[in-house]
């Protein structure tokens, strides 16, 4: 871990074990508490949700090529302003958790 880096502790059992805690302490690894499965700070999960809903609404997906075309179409249709808003919301939500 480079200078100024932090370990993102996702509150999962593997990150909460005594052995893990001791190792991080012995190696001076600072942690950031991170909410488990938090979609409000995981942009790609939100993007996939939008794409998945679009694909599910598309009638009669015929094959893998058709599925790929639907996914790419929806990805290209996502407004850049929406993506920027998602990034901005990450910073706002991080302040809520820490």
CA 30 to chain centre: 21
Same domain, 31 and 67: no
**Tally of domains in the chain:** 2
CA 31 to chain centre: 18
The model's pLDDT over 6-48, given as tens digits with 9 standing for 90+, comes to 666 666 666 678 888 888 889 888 877 666 656 566 778 888 8
Same domain, 60 and 91: yes
What are the start-end ranges of the E strands in 1-98?
Answer: 7-9, 31-33
Q: State the residue range of the domain holding 5.
A: 1-37
Give mean pLDDT, residues 70-88: 88
Same domain, 56 and 18: no
The pLDDT, as a whole number, for residue 89 is: 78
CA separation for the pair 39, 34 (Å, rounded): 11
């Amino acid at each position: 871990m480079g200078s100024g880096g932090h370990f993102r502790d996702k509150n999962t059992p593997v990150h909460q074990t005594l052995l893990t805690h001791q190792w991080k302490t012995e190696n001076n690894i600072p942690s950031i508490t991170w909410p488990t499965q938090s979609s409000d700070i995981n942009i790609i999960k939100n993007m996939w949700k939008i794409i998945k809903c679009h694909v599910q609404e598309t009638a009669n997906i015929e094959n893998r090529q058709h599925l790929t075309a639907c996914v790419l179409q929806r990805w290209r249709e996502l407004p850049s302003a929406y993506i920027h808003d998602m990034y901005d919301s990450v910073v706002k939500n991080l302040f809520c958790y820490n």
